[in-house]
């Protein structure tokens, strides 16, 4: 009885999220094998490869792409390298899962999408929130017409605090390019068919006001008007002391759906201090099942199965366009039109 | 044993909320008597007076103000009359509870406050949300430092749908003057000491798009930047099919408080359709205890007792200033500075 | 215009709950006047009367019953005096609100009911849970058939801890006579028409095991089988460190309703410790609106208006019968039949 | 680089839960291979083997046990065969995961445990609730002393309705042997170190009263007294129209933990009917992560790693002892002592 053989996957980038994705492929997906890891940092790939029992570790991406039998890659490098690596992988004929943001300019986004298209390879972008059960159920309810036409939408990302990174090592505009890009995709995805027409962004360094004069931003509120009249608010902060808080809300002509809960589980403690719940402290805990479903869906794509809701290069471009409008809005201190 | 005698209260305006306030004084407050009602509409005051077993009904406010022994008035006329009636009552030496908005211009607001001050009478404005238990507990937690410094704030008002009013009979800018004014006060009150510096408002007729070209607005999202760096979002819609939805959220450097729930009570039904809760459908049901506490506090003011958190004329002016900035923002399609 | 005059109420018993009921009549009910207070303890009635601005204070119940114009009494003495006081009040022609338990034996219960009937006066018993909004909504859902036929029912009472009373001053079987009697009434009321057929009670001194050998009981679990096949569990404990916890659950052939929440309000705090809510710590806070509704309904009864769900002498007898069966079950360490 | 090779697992019993466990091994566990399936029903094993891409299918258990390289078995036959199959597998030297109940008599339980011990093979029993995140967190809180000493405990199982099985095909006492056995294990596990001393069970056919006279039971309430004074209630029903409802509650001297929620996710719908959540309708959906964790832990045991909280043969015996006492209690209509 011939068996379906697992998809051979290579990981590019052995940092925090790359390591986690590698672990997912190696430990949580039966129908995929992690066969090679590449990272330019000496030892990074080798160390992770040893942990995950992977045979091949490289410091050169080209070597990974040349790994025998490799069918697909997961791109988890720093964001500024995403497009080039993606194009390189596409040209090597590999199926591509690329972490967000896929690109930092619209031209790069177009180049990435074109490369995948030219190579005829699947391209999926890491908007993991679509794979979370609650968000997926929310979209299903919206598609079923249960809330009517969306009118007011909210998506927020609050990273768990205390914020301990060095603001100087964080690229400018990260809050838009890397954090809120999730919310922009979520807002677009939960407002099917609507196009943004105007963006107004208020952003500041409230967590680290000492870094404000260097352009660091850790807090932002973005208002987006869509061509169906709906108005969305995306919001982010880098230091939620209570945990990793991801929520969405879509209010429409017939009702509302809300999604997301920072509580870890239904386990509730009642004691002399009142009623309490533990919270999610890491995205990789909160969304472990969503992250796994995301890569499982990518594996199905590689096998040629259609996957509903897999974010495409076009989706990445649409979210990026809002991020770029936000940056423009912050620079000009005014609302920015997205028409034309 | 001499007893404290009840405060004698007159009601001006026998419409929906006036009738409800009258009923509160007559039926739910032991230490106040509703002694007179005035409404220019023939029979309106008389009919309500009969229902509430009040002896005196007038069509002329001056007559009500001359009612023997009258100590205080509740002003619940249409908003455009508030200031003039307030000044008239102050000049007659009556303690004043005035529904929001106290005025429609900053000059009127100043005139109202000055009149009350000149007459030496208490002046309380109808920002009832401050008296709701959850919002009051939220403010207490903020004052106790439990969330640190406010950074991201949200307040929303969604009136229960379906919207059945005639848009042509609703004054222009009502969503800012009469609906969101509650949220503006709430945001100011939950962000103690902060002053708004910039406002951006997106508003539209999404519930009744057929009335858009007449300037009718039923949906709005307002972003407010404060001088402590915090950013607030106020949001309103006139037709929440699921009920009367009032919520607040204050996120700060040390945590967050959330307030408000559209669910009626802890009674939860589990049946073949899943899990469900009934919702609040009217402000006067949802906030009956808050509305009662509000007038009880006013009665204490009349008796000369200090009342924490009672909204003053200055509070009314501060909320109005944001509403006016919103109108300006909608007209100019741009962010509006509130720094003079 | 003739006005409805307030009902003249006398309070018998100026202890904790009596004082609270007195305050409700004096301060929270417009259509009732607290005109007299009686308590045998020197100064108890006088002190409360002064606080509540009541003119008449007595140490002799007969004097209170002779107070001019008195229409109704609230009986809030220690439980063992309830029946005699009730009969005395009935014979004086006064409408009667009696705290639970109305009696400690079935004979006394019958005597009490007969006295009220003979005098033609209203008799309402203090099963306040029926007036709580969530429990009332639960009963409404059951009456509407939303859960089908009840099959599994739960009612619990957990008094706020830490338990600080002196076990030696608490009458034997108090947990059944005074605490669980609420749950027995609730179970009967939420299972309309069903009659208990068998009772099994497990009870112990877990909070104060040092008092176990004196017969003190602070924890109990009671199983009740009804003639419609349903099985109920009533449960009590004297020391819930997290607050005053009152809940109910009715599971039936078509669904379930649950009622009760120890959380104080929707105000929720999110901080470095996770998510938390404050809790109810006193019955008089948790059920203040229910307690008020209860006495408002009694006042309506006194005025001759019919009041749905007002607990009668028969209801008190039915709950007592279960309490007595529990005591028998504990004594015999076996299930006790309630079929005579 | 030598890799850890997957554990070779054989499945015995290709019914509903066996198929699901087989799928878990084949599709959700990277470090285990499903290598053979046995079921006496013609084609049952072959059909499942084809679906799961497993090469070997047998109708004879002995053949499966002789499968080359087989290291472990999952026993998911009808309950009455569990012990014999378990002993047979132990004698063949295979590691054993056995669905609950491990045995139907205490002698069989002892025989099963002894066989595994004699063979020196791991034995884990399918009490899956221990692997559910909320229940595991509850136990952790209890171990940390957060609720003090347990006093009142509750565990319930309500299978999703409508009940569609044929009561005549369900073995007698199934509600105790197969349903409540989960709750008995949960109660023992959440009350560490306590031993049951008395059991009282009320059971009936409320879902299918037409089958009552044949001894069918679909509803039960069990009271268990423990030697630490705590009292537990276990409760089951075969037809919860609102879904698959599994909950636990442990109240102690310092607080309480509650666990379990029939709501599917945080996605909440607000519409004209109020607020609602979808519910879990199948155990294999509700507990998919718990079921997976359970078998992952078994695989670790097979590899010789210690696994905390894995239910042993002794645990199975302890839960069974309560089930047997329940049957005795129902037969004798009285409380049954577990001492002796």
| Integer Cα distance of D155 and D132 in angstroms | 14
Q: What are D253's two structure tokens?
A: 């001297």
Please tell me the predicted confidence (pLDDT) of residue B290: 96
Q: Which of residues 276-295 of C touch A (CB under 8 A)?
A: 276-279
- Could you tell me if A109 and A204 lie in one domain? no
> CB distance D271–B243 less than 8 Å?
no
Tell me the average pLDDT across C5-15.
97
Residue ending a domain, among D95, D121, D147, is D121
A-C CB pairs within 8 A amount to: 53
Tell me if A113 sits within 8 A of A313, measured CB to CB.
Answer: yes
Q: Is the pLDDT of residue D1 over 90?
A: no
Tell me if A52 sits within 8 A of A26, measured CB to CB.
Answer: yes
Please tell me the predicted confidence (pLDDT) of residue B3: 63
Chain-wide mean pLDDT for chain C?
97
The parent domain of residue B333 ranges over 129-282+317-337
Does any domain span residue A222?
yes
What tens digit of pLDDT does each residue of D109-146 get?
A: 999 999 999 999 999 999 999 999 999 999 999 999 99
Please tell me the predicted confidence (pLDDT) of residue D3: 63
- Got the DSSP string for C62-115? HHHHTSTT--EEEE-S-GGGHHHHHHHHHHTT-EEEEPSPS-SSHHHHHHHHHH
Q: Which of residues 56-85 of D touch A (CB under 8 A)?
A: none
**Among A11, A43, A12, which Cα is nearest to A24's?**
A11
Residue ending a domain, among B121, B152, B177, is B121
What tens digit of pLDDT does each residue of C104-132 get?
A: 999 999 999 999 999 999 999 999 999 99
> CB distance C335–D200 less than 8 Å?
yes
**From the list C233, C241, C256, which residue is nearest D242 (CB)?**
C256
Q: Which residues of C138-166 are buried (b: 16+ CB within 10 A; e: fewer)?
A: bbebbeeebbeebbbbbbbbbbbbeeeee
Mutate to test the interface with C, among A158, A242, A263 (most CBs of C within 10 A): A242
Give how far A115 is from chain D: nearest CA, Å: 33
Tell me the average pLDDT across A246-269.
98
Cβ contacts (< 8 Å) between C276 and chain A: which residues?
273-277
Q: What are C37's two structure tokens?
A: 């207070």
Please tell me the predicted confidence (pLDDT) of residue C307: 84
Contact D275/A at CB under 8 A: no
| Integer Cα distance of D306 and D310 in angstroms | 9
**From the list C243, C271, C278, which residue is nearest A242 (CB)?**
C271
Contact C207/D at CB under 8 A: yes
Distance of CA D179 to the CA centre of its chain: 8
| Integer Cα distance of B124 and B95 in angstroms | 9
Please tell me the predicted confidence (pLDDT) of residue D4: 76
Q: What percent of chain D has pLDDT over 70?
A: 99
> CB distance B134–C267 less than 8 Å?
yes
B-D CB pairs within 8 A amount to: 53
Residue ending a domain, among B71, B93, B121, is B121
- Could you tell me if C241 and C273 lie in one domain? yes
Q: Which of residues 240-259 of B touch D (CB under 8 A)?
A: 240-243, 245
Kind plus residue range of the DSSP H or E element containing D275 = strand D274-277
Does any domain span residue D87?
yes
| Integer Cα distance of C52 and D224 in angstroms | 49
Please tell me the predicted confidence (pLDDT) of residue A167: 98
> CB distance D275–B279 less than 8 Å?
yes
Contact B169/D at CB under 8 A: no
**CATH number of the CATH domain containing D246:** 3.30.360.10
Does any domain span residue D307?
no
State the Cα angle at C274 between C268 and C279, rounded to 5°.
Answer: 40
Give the chain B residue nearest A232 (alpha carbons).
Answer: B221
CB neighbourhood size of C314 (10 A): 13
Q: Which subunits have 3 or more CB–CB pairs within 8 Å of chain B?
A: A, C, D
Q: SS3 string of D236-257?
A: EEEEECCCCEEEEEEEECCEEE
Chain-wide mean pLDDT for chain A?
97
Does any domain span residue C309?
no
- Could you tell me if B172 and B102 lie in one domain? no
Mutate to test the interface with C, among D175, D180, D229, D251 (most CBs of C within 10 A): D251
Preceding peptide of A193 cis, ω within 30°? no
Residue ranges of the alpha helices (H) in A165-281? 174, 180-189
CB neighbourhood size of A46 (10 A): 18
Contact B152/A at CB under 8 A: yes
A-D CB pairs within 8 A amount to: 104
What tens digit of pLDDT does each residue of C273-313 get?
A: 999 999 999 999 999 999 999 999 999 999 999 888 899 99
Tell me if D44 sits within 8 A of D69, measured CB to CB.
Answer: no
> CB distance C151–D225 less than 8 Å?
no
Does any domain span residue D208?
yes
Contact A272/C at CB under 8 A: yes
Q: Is the pLDDT of residue C328 over 60?
A: yes
Please tell me the predicted confidence (pLDDT) of residue D307: 84
Q: Is the pLDDT of residue D340 over 90?
A: no
Please tell me the predicted confidence (pLDDT) of residue B1: 40
**Among B148, B208, B145, which Cα is nearest to B175's?**
B208
Contact B263/D at CB under 8 A: yes
- Could you tell me if D11 and D79 lie in one domain? yes
**From the list C262, C274, C279, which residue is nearest A278 (CB)?**
C274
- Phi, psi for B204 (deg, rounded to 5): -160, 170
> CB distance B274–D278 less than 8 Å?
yes
CB neighbourhood size of C253 (10 A): 17
Contact C260/A at CB under 8 A: no
Q: Could you tell me the pLDDT band of residue A1, with boundaries at 50, 70 and 90?
A: very low
Q: What are C151's two structure tokens?
A: 């099959």
Mutate to test the interface with A, among C163, C241, C276, C285 (most CBs of A within 10 A): C276
- Could you tell me if B325 and B187 lie in one domain? yes
**From the list C202, C251, C256, which residue is nearest D225 (CB)?**
C202
- Phi, psi for A47 (deg, rounded to 5): -65, -45
- Phi, psi for B322 (deg, rounded to 5): -70, -40
- Could you tell me if B45 and B15 lie in one domain? yes
**Sole residue written with tokens 């954090």:** A179
- Could you tell me if C148 and C256 lie in one domain? yes
What tens digit of pLDDT does each residue of D211-252 get?
A: 999 999 999 999 999 999 999 999 999 999 999 999 999 999
**CATH number of the CATH domain containing A40:** 3.40.50.720
Tell me the average pLDDT across C193-211.
98
Give the chain D residue nearest B264 (alpha carbons).
Answer: D274
Please tell me the predicted confidence (pLDDT) of residue A307: 84
- Could you tell me if C52 and C15 lie in one domain? yes
| Integer Cα distance of B317 and A163 in angstroms | 38
Does any domain span residue B2?
no
Please tell me the predicted confidence (pLDDT) of residue C3: 63
What tens digit of pLDDT does each residue of C14-72 get?
A: 999 999 999 999 999 999 999 999 999 989 999 999 999 999 999 999 999 999 999 99
Give how far A154 is from chain D: nearest CA, Å: 14
Q: What percent of chain C has pLDDT over 70?
A: 99
**Among A153, A82, A91, which Cα is nearest to A317's?**
A82
| Integer Cα distance of C292 and C286 in angstroms | 12
Contact C211/A at CB under 8 A: no
> CB distance C1–B50 less than 8 Å?
yes
Q: What is the pTM for the complete model shown?
A: 0.97
In chain A, the number of structural domains is: 2
Cβ contacts (< 8 Å) between B9 and chain C: which residues?
none
> CB distance A237–B207 less than 8 Å?
no
- Could you tell me if B110 and B254 lie in one domain? no
State the Cα angle at D203 between D324 and C200, rounded to 5°.
Answer: 90
Give how far C120 is from chain B: nearest CA, Å: 28
State the Cα angle at D212 between D208 and D213, rounded to 5°.
Answer: 145
A-B CB pairs within 8 A amount to: 93
Distance of CA B62 to the CA centre of its chain: 25
**Among D236, C161, B152, B144, which Cα is nearest to A236's?**
B152
Q: What percent of chain B has pLDDT over 70?
A: 99
Tell me if D20 sits within 8 A of D284, measured CB to CB.
Answer: yes
**Among B223, C276, B114, C125, which Cα is nearest to A231's?**
B223
CB neighbourhood size of C65 (10 A): 21
Give how far A254 is from chain C: nearest CA, Å: 24
Cβ contacts (< 8 Å) between D256 and chain C: which residues?
240, 242, 245
Give how far D296 is from chain C: nearest CA, Å: 29
Give how far A247 is from chain C: nearest CA, Å: 14
Please tell me the predicted confidence (pLDDT) of residue B33: 97
Q: Could you tell me the pLDDT band of residue A42, with boundaries at 50, 70 and 90?
A: confident
**From the list C243, C245, C274, which residue is nearest A276 (CB)?**
C274
Mutate to test the interface with B, among C23, C32, C267 (most CBs of B within 10 A): C267
> CB distance B276–D279 less than 8 Å?
no
Give the chain A residue nearest D141 (alpha carbons).
Answer: A269
Does the structure's ipTM exceed the value 0.90?
yes
Please tell me the predicted confidence (pLDDT) of residue D308: 85
Contact D204/C at CB under 8 A: yes
Tell me if B136 sits within 8 A of C263, measured CB to CB.
Answer: no
- Could you tell me if C177 and C79 lie in one domain? no
Taking 50 as the pLDDT cut, the residues of chain B under it are 1-2
- Could you tell me if D108 and D157 lie in one domain? no
Does any domain span residue C304?
no
| Integer Cα distance of B79 and B76 in angstroms | 8
Contact D219/C at CB under 8 A: yes
- Could you tell me if A113 and A184 lie in one domain? no
Q: Is A94 helix (H, G, I), strand (E, B) or coil?
A: coil
Does any domain span residue D51?
yes
How many helices (H) and strands (E) in chain D? 11, 15
Tell me the average pLDDT across C81-97.
98
Lowest-pLDDT choice from A207-216, C1-10, D246-255? C1-10
- Phi, psi for C16 (deg, rounded to 5): -60, -55
Cβ contacts (< 8 Å) between C55 and chain B: which residues?
1
Q: Is B191 helix (H, G, I), strand (E, B) or coil?
A: coil
């Amino acid at each position: 009885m011939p068996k379906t053989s697992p998809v051979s996957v290579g990981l590019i980038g052995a940092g925090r999220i790359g390591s986690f994705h590698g672990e997912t492929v190696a430990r949580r997906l039966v129908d995929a094998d992690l066969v090679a890891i590449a990272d330019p940092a000496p030892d990074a790939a080798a160390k992770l490869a040893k942990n995950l029992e992977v045979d091949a570790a490289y410091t050169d991406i080209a070597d990974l792409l040349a790994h025998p039998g490799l069918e697909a890659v997961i791109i988890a490098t720093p964001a500024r390298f995403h497009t080039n690596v993606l194009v390189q992988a596409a040209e090597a004929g590999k199926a591509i899962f690329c972490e967000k943001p896929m690109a930092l300019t619209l031209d790069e986004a177009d180049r990435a999408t074109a490369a995948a298209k030219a190579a005829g390879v699947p391209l999926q972008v890491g908007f993991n929130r679509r794979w979370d059960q609650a968000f997926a159920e929310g979209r299903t309810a919206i598609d079923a017409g249960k809330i009517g036409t969306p009118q007011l939408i909210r998506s927020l990302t609050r990273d768990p605090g205390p914020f301990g990174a060095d603001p100087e090592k964080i690229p400018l505009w990260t809050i838009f390019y890397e954090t809120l890009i999730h919310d922009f995709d979520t807002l677009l995805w939960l407002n099917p068919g609507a196009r943004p027409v105007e963006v107004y962004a208020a952003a500041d360094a409230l967590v680290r006001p000492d870094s404000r004069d260097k352009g660091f931003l850790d807090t932002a509120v973005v208002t987006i008007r869509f061509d169906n009249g709906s108005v969305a608010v995306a919001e982010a902060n880098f230091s939620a002391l209570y945990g990793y808080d991801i929520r969405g809300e879509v209010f429409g002509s017939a009702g509302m759906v809300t999604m997301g809960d920072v509580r870890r589980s239904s386990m509730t403690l009642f004691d002399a201090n009142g009623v309490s719940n533990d919270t999610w402290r890491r995205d990789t805990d909160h969304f472990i099942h969503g992250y796994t479903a995301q890569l499982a869906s990518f594996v199905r794509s590689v096998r040629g199965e259609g996957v509903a809701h897999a974010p495409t290069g076009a989706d990445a471009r649409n979210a990026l366009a809002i991020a770029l409008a936000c940056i423009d809005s912050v620079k000009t201190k005014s609302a920015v039109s997205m028409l034309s």
